[in-house]
Amino acid sequence: MSLVIEQLELGPIGTNTYVVRASAEAPEAVVVDPSGDAETILSSLEALGAQCAAILVTHGHFDHIVSLADLAERSGAPVYAPAGERILIEEPDAFTPPGLTIRPATADVWLDGGEAVNVAGIAFAVSAVPGHSPAHIAYFAEGELFSGDVLFAGSVGRTDFPGSDWATLESSIASLLDAYPPSTVVHPGHGPETTLGDELRTNPFLTSLRAGRPTG
């Protein structure tokens, strides 16, 4: 089975929101990191003929949860999010840039990593990948990894935020490289998709992680 994934670049800094279905005919979809406005996401779902069955959040930074409260309210879909970033989601005003207002939201299921989330006919494995943010998580299913802001094409997540740490982020990326094959497609929080193998071969931030790991 191959997942069908639509990437929407939304919100104030071009954050990737993903609409994920088990197949092109699937009547339900999962939304990962709802940025932008709920109307755009709901319109995309309607065009696909799918209902939102769940909302998955990788971390609580403002640009990944812009429309979380609205989408959850309008769709009635359960929200899955990292437990360690609850305050970022439930009290977003304290962590949002001036001039931008984000409605407080909450999760129906708080995750720590190590869980399995089965929604819309898709089984997601949840990995704890802190470093860019204190309790960041990633979701893996059917060879596809939704990495949030941990790993990008040619780059990695910033570690100059409160609660960020480079050594922790590097360790988290290493754990993904060890857990999943090089062919794994990475769907990051910003920018184009890539693969774990491509990043291990060419990403300048992963030089120290290359030794002894297959790249293809």
HEC secondary structure over the chain:
CCCEEEEEEECCCCEEEEEEECCCCCCEEEEECCCCCHHHHHHHHHHHCCEEEEEECCCCCHHHCCCHHHHHHHHCCCEEEEHHHHHHHHCHHHHCCCCCCCCCCCCCEEECCCCEEEECCEEEEEEECCCCCCCCEEEEECCEEEEECCEECCEECCCCCCCCCHHHHHHHHHHHHHHCCCCCEEEECCCCCEEHHHHHHHCHHHHHHCCCCCCC
In this prediction, residue 212 carries a pLDDT of 81
In this prediction, residue 216 carries a pLDDT of 79
Which pTM does this prediction carry?
A: 0.97
**Ordered per-residue pLDDT tens for the chain, 216 residues:** 599 999 999 999 999 999 999 999 999 999 999 999 999 999 999 999 999 999 999 999 999 999 999 999 999 999 999 999 999 999 998 888 888 899 999 999 999 999 999 999 999 999 999 999 999 999 999 999 999 999 999 999 999 998 999 999 999 999 999 999 999 999 999 999 999 999 999 999 999 999 888 887
In this prediction, residue 94 carries a pLDDT of 81
In this prediction, residue 154 carries a pLDDT of 98
Domain formed by 4-209, architecture? 4-Layer Sandwich (3.60)
In this prediction, residue 1 carries a pLDDT of 59
Could you state, in order of their start, the residue ranges of all structural domains in the chain? 4-209
